[in-house]
């Protein structure tokens, strides 16, 4: 589940960073067949929260107040929230700092931001933030 979300985040980042001014290739007379992907809903994992709600924390990491539609497993947690990317960054830098996490790196790419934190045990936490209109998608991976 989290891998699928991570793949979608990477694809959205690549699309957001692509140059729309590039010429589109001409269509040949015998087009190549294109595979289509159909997403089939799977049963909810045990840590799924009720629709429209989010947990207060995931594996000791706080979930931003006001988060909606959160779900996770042992690998990661994803939620949406109506705020700005900057507010999400500020929240996690402050709250994780209180817990002993230090920002190790930051990557900005168009409408997405990735923050990487480490703690005193050398554990890492990645906070991926993707802006989508009035909502922000946040993916926590430990």
pLDDT band at 26 (very low <50, low <70, confident <90, very high): very low
Residue 39 lies in a domain: no
Asked, for residue 33, whether it belongs to a domain, the answer is no
Does the global pTM surpass 0.75?
no
Let me know if residue 126 belongs to a domain: yes
- The domain containing residue 137 runs over which residues? 2-13+47-141
Residue 121 domain-assigned (yes or no): yes
Q: Is residue 100 part of a domain?
A: yes
Residue 98 burial (10 A CB sphere; 0-12, 13-18, 19+): exposed
The pLDDT tens digits of the residues spanning 118-134 come to: 999 999 999 999 998 88
Asked if residues 113 and 106 have their Cβ atoms less than 8 Å apart, the reply is yes
Average predicted confidence (pLDDT) for the chain? 75
Check residue 28 and report its DSSP letter: P
Question: What total number of domains does the chain contain?
Answer: 1
């Amino acid at each position: 589940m989290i891998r699928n979300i991570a793949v979608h985040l990477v694809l959205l980042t690549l699309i957001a960073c692509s140059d729309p001014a590039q010429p589109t290739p001409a269509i040949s007379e015998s087009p190549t067949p294109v595979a289509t992907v159909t997403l089939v809903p799977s049963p909810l994992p045990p840590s799924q929260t009720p629709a429209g709600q989010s947990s207060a924390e995931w594996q000791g990491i706080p979930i931003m107040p006001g988060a909606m539609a959160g779900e996770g497993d042992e690998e990661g947690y994803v939620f949406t929230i109506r705020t700005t990317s900057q507010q999400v960054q500020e929240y996690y830098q402050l709250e994780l700092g209180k817990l002993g996490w230090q920002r190790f790196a930051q990557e900005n790419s168009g409408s997405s931001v990735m923050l990487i934190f480490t703690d005193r045990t050398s554990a890492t936490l990645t906070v991926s933030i993707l802006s989508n209109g009035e909502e922000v998608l946040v993916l926590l991976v430990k």
